[in-house]
Amino acid sequence: MENTLSHLKHIDSDKGNIIKGLQLIQKNEGYLSDRALEICSHYFSVPLVEIQGIVTFYSQFKRTKPGKYQISICDGTACHLKGATLILDWIATELNIGAGETDSTGLFSLETVACLGCCSLAPVMSVNGDIFGNLSRKGVLQILKRYKRQG
């Protein structure tokens, strides 16, 4: 994980920079691996358990390597009322994963988010930032099929 250490070398090893360091690693690597946490522990001279506690406390940190296509299901009020839970269930069933997981092929990651800011299109999901709205089961399955073909 030489990359992890190279990301950290841009910031001071003061304990007050731990969160900044973790954010930097995640920004560059997409998630925080076990090895990355160990490197942070050494770099900032704090016990590994303290780094793990920080990562567990803040929901912004991801411990699972993201898939090539990151699916975000909006669960804001409008989307929730218009079936966001169903959208999540359909995708979870189709890909055999739950929210916060990556499928076995490494192609898809699934998460729920508080709001995607497209309430007039509810229910909404995004794939790597591309927004899809007014979703139906058939539409969701077609979107997944398209991304599967692109591989």
Residue 3, pLDDT score: 76
**Quick one: 143 and 83 in the same domain?**
yes
Q: What's the CATH code of the domain at 78?
A: 3.40.30.10
Residue 109, pLDDT score: 95
**Quick one: 73 and 145 in the same domain?**
yes
Judge whether 62 lies within some domain: no
DSSP-based three-state secondary structure for 2: helix
Average pLDDT over residues 29-54: 95
H or E stretch covering 8 = helix 2-8
Judge whether 74 lies within some domain: yes
The reported pTM is 0.76
pLDDT category, 1, cuts 50, 70, 90? Answer: very low
Task: Indicate the number of domains in the chain.
Answer: 2
Average pLDDT of the chain, as a whole number: 93
What is the domain range of residue 139? 69-150
Judge whether 99 lies within some domain: yes
Residue 138, pLDDT score: 96
Residue 55, pLDDT score: 95
pLDDT category, 151, cuts 50, 70, 90? Answer: confident
Q: Is residue 2 scored above 60 in pLDDT?
A: no
**Among the listed residues 41, 33, 48, the one whose alpha carbon sits nearest the alpha carbon of residue 3:** 33
**Quick one: 22 and 94 in the same domain?**
no
Give the Cα separation of 108 and 144 in Å (integer).
9
H or E stretch covering 83 = none
